[in-house]
């Protein structure tokens, strides 16, 4: 999938927290546009200030973002995890890069069938000599190790498989995210702003193999759960 990073950074930024129930026990947190960066209010500190003192039972987090600062993403993810409220994440359009990390902070992640998620390794811009670039490469590998922790609790596969998915800069449909553990529920599609659509290209990586592998495993587990029930029902009818 071809990524237009200029389009990502130019998306309208919007972070809002608003109550959606009369007793002020349910809130909606909207996170749209790029995360963090210079001159941006779409950052972890803004989220911290908005959530400070919020006594909610449920917080619905709506995400439509191409990502941004990895560290802001990690910080927001941890804030959501630490909040006493049940956090239900809705992917309204896409949750790419740092935005996918934020999504991992939800107790439940819901993706309409026409939405997407993207995970990848950390990246940056460097200027300097060979020593500078070598140090930056070492730092990025450390950051990648830290970022993997945000996905590990949900990912159904091995760490080696997760590492490869991040190396491949993997785009996931809602069904694929569900199969790999990055989403809990796929619901009916919603309309996506045309500015979010990207041109698709054929990319060969391990994603298709992993989705098929873990989707098949999930079906087998469901089949095994169902067999004792059917067996008991047969014995019941035989005893009548």
Q: How far apart are CA 236 and CA 239, in angstroms?
A: 5
Of the pLDDT bands very low, low, confident and very high (cuts 50, 70, 90), residue 217 is: confident
Of the pLDDT bands very low, low, confident and very high (cuts 50, 70, 90), residue 197 is: very low
List strand residue ranges (DSSP E) for the chain, in order: 14-19, 26-32, 58-65, 86-96, 108-112, 116-119, 170-173, 185-187
- Kindly state the percentage of the chain with pLDDT values over 90: 57
Question: Residue 124: what pLDDT?
Answer: 77
More confident: 202 or 124: 124
| 2: pLDDT strictly greater than 50 | no
Mean pLDDT of 50-62: 96
Provide the residue count of the chain.
Answer: 240
- Kindly state the percentage of the chain with pLDDT values over 70: 80
Q: How far apart are CA 98 and CA 146, in angstroms?
A: 13
Tens-place pLDDT, residues 85-107: 999 999 999 999 999 999 999 99
Lowest mean pLDDT among 19-23, 80-84, 231-235: 231-235
More confident: 102 or 230: 102
List strand residue ranges (DSSP E) for 76-150, in order: 86-96, 108-112, 116-119
Within 10 A of 139 (CB to CB), how many other CB atoms are there? 13
Question: Residue 236: what pLDDT?
Answer: 46
| 177: pLDDT strictly greater than 70 | yes
Do 117 and 100 contact (CB within 8 A), yes or no? yes
Instruction: Classify residue 234 by burial, with Cβ atoms within 10 Å: 0-12, 13-18, 19+.
Output: exposed
Tens-place pLDDT, residues 131-167: 888 888 888 888 888 899 999 999 999 999 999 999 9
Of the pLDDT bands very low, low, confident and very high (cuts 50, 70, 90), residue 191 is: low
The DSSP letter of residue 90 is E
Give which of 120, 112, 121 is closest to 62, Cα–Cα: 112
| 7: pLDDT strictly greater than 90 | no
């Amino acid at each position: 999938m071809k990524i237009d990073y200029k389009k990502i950074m130019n998306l309208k930024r919007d972070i809002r927290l608003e109550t959606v129930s009369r007793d002020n026990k349910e809130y909606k947190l909207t996170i749209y546009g790029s995360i963090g960066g210079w001159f941006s209010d779409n950052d972890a500190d803004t989220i911290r200030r908005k959530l400070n003192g919020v006594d909610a039972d449920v917080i619905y987090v709506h995400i439509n973002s191409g990502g941004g600062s990895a560290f802001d993403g990690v910080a927001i993810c941890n804030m959501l995890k630490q909040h006493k409220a049940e956090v239900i994440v809705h992917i309204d359009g896409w949750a790419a890069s740092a935005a996918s990390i934020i999504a991992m902070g939800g107790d439940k992640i819901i993706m309409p069938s026409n939405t997407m998620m993207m995970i990848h390794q950390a990246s940056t811009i460097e200027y300097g000599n060979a020593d500078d670039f070598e140090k930056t490469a070492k730092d990025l590998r450390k950051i990648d190790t830290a970022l993997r922790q945000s996905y590990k609790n949900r990912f159904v596969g091995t760490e080696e498989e997760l590492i490869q998915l991040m190396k491949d800069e993997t785009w996931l449909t809602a069904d694929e995210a569900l199969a790999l553990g990055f989403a809990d529920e796929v619901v009916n599609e919603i309309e996506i702003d045309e500015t979010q659509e990207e041109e698709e290209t054929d990319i060969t990586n391990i994603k298709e193999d992993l989705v098929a592998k873990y989707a098949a495993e999930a079906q087998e587990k469901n089949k095994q759960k169902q067999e004792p029930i059917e067996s008991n029902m047969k014995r019941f009818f035989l005893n009548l």
